[in-house]
């Protein structure tokens, strides 16, 4: 660099570091101030949530309705863990039987089982929406 460019430049380390430290300190003060104000003047929209009491009108989004409806027929512990187990089973399924099929029978069994599962999911979703 020439002497003229050096004379018009600002060193990065002390100047930029000090400026960024001041900005970070300002944001930190704002965050602490907001927390203190929220502590002394809490904003409440109504009664606190009760995790043991679900209102009747509450329903999940459409993509969770079949699981919500399934919980009415099976115990809650099984209903909460079975989707996770099913997804894990789908993830490891290709590694369980790596040999190629010699006949078309396993193909058609998979088609019919998949179609039945999809129909059950659609039926539970519709049932969950209208119930």
- Burial degree of 121 (CB within 10 A; 0-12, 13-18, 19+): middle
Domain annotation covers residue 56: no
Instruction: Decide if 86 is inside a domain.
Output: yes
Does residue 87 form part of some domain?
A: yes
Q: pLDDT for 31-54, tens place per residue?
A: 999 999 999 988 877 787 787 887
How confident is the chain (131 residues) per 10-residue block, as mean pLDDT? 70 89 97 94 81 80 90 87 92 83 86 94 93 81
User: Are residue 26 and residue 83 in the same domain, yes or no?
Assistant: no
| 52 within some domain | no
Query: What's the pLDDT at 51?
Result: 79
Q: Which residues span the domain enclosing 23?
A: 3-40
26 in any annotated domain: yes
């Amino acid at each position: 660099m020439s002497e003229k460019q050096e004379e018009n430049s600002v060193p990065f380390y002390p100047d930029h570091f000090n400026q960024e430290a001041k900005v970070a300190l300002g944001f930190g003060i704002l965050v602490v101030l907001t927390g203190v104000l929220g502590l002394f003047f809490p904003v409440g929209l109504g009664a606190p949530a009760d995790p043991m009491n679900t209102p009747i009108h509450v329903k999940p989004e459409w993509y969770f309705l079949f699981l919500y409806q399934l919980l009415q027929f099976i115990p809650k512990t099984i209903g909460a863990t079975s989707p996770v187990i099913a997804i894990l089973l789908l993830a490891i399924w290709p590694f369980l039987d790596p040999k190629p099929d010699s006949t078309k029978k396993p193909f058609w069994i998979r088609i019919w089982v998949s179609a039945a599962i999809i129909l059950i999911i659609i039926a539970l979703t519709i049932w969950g929406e209208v119930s």
